[in-house]
Amino acid sequence: MTDTRPPRPQALTAACLYLGAIFTVQLVTVLVLVSDLSTAEGQKRVETQLDWFGGGGRSFGDAQTIYQVVLTVVAVLAATGIVCAVHAAKGHHPSRVILTVLAAFFLAVSVSGLLGPGFFVAMLGFLAVFFAAQLWTPVVRSWFRVLAGKAPLPAKAVASTPVPVGAPTGGQSGGEMYPQPGQQPAPPPMPPGYQPYVHTPGREPLPRAVGVAVWTTLIGSIVAMGLSAMFLLSMLVIGDYDSFMAQGGPGADMIRGREADFNEALHLVRVICAIALVLGVGGLFAAIRVLVTRRSGDVVLFVMSVVTIIFTVVIALGFPFGLPWTAAAIVVLVHLRKPESRRWFVKT
């Protein structure tokens, strides 16, 4: 083989994929906020953020301008994160460092409420830091060291495995260190492919494409289940129109006198969240089945991805919140149809 580049670790591929997706969602969120600043309704949604920049005697127009500049900087950094995710997956070490710093930055931005309050925004910040930490696991660090021309990190299992006297080590045998007069010591018999620190009976590693599909489904299902459960609980707290108006929650003035529209919207949200919760449970079951049984479960995973795409596309016609799951389901389908995935799911 002419290509001596070591294979990319699966953890690095998955981490860069998810970080790129997170920064893409952040970029879209910022662009939506910038566009909403030109409308009165959008300005009301970010009224708290505008108040932050309106101190010191600044006018509302000055506060809006400062907020737009800040959002523009955040958008540029999000786009930088997308580019760095691509280059880090290719083995560019500076991009890996920049990606880690940007993940910490977006965690601070998400928690601070600069992009608006909400569980979803804060969750993206924590997920970014989690996946950035995967860029510094021993396997990934060892891979980057090899690319830089350095020795890989020592394997603890290899260091703890005793090497028998006389066993061959590369081009020089251990028996040459202790030659006996008149005879050449024979190395002890070793089973073919003896790799004690790699071989694990009964557990074969997932191919890269299968791993991306499974972990995308697993994380996407958990996030969908968490958000759906949170919205359903909030629906229980809100109750009906009269209870909501009595509590005087956010947006109460906007829906005053529109009880029919409010009840219809509330019912629609309940239905969407219930379906999303069921899909999340199904996706979680499909991913766990592949991880546990191995070489099976591809049909369930494929069906759940197709159903998710149909559901999120239909929802996106009136509410684009499900578009990240549309993209995730497409990623799963693409990786399931790759040749290495199709070969791996064929039972032998």
Q: What is the mean pLDDT of the chain?
A: 74
Percent of residues, the chain, with pLDDT higher than 90: 2
Q: What is the pLDDT of residues 132-148, one digit of tens each?
A: 998 988 888 888 888 87
* Torsion of the alpha carbons at 186, 187, 191 and 192, rounded to the nearest 10: -90
**pLDDT tens column, 182-232:** 555 555 555 554 444 344 444 567 788 888 888 888 888 888 888 888 777
pLDDT bracket for residue 56 (50, 70, 90): low
* Angstrom distance (rounded) from CA 123 to CA 291: 25
| Alpha carbons 97 and 95: distance in angstroms, whole number | 5
Exposed, middle or buried, 116 (CB in 10 Å: 0-12/13-18/19+)?
middle
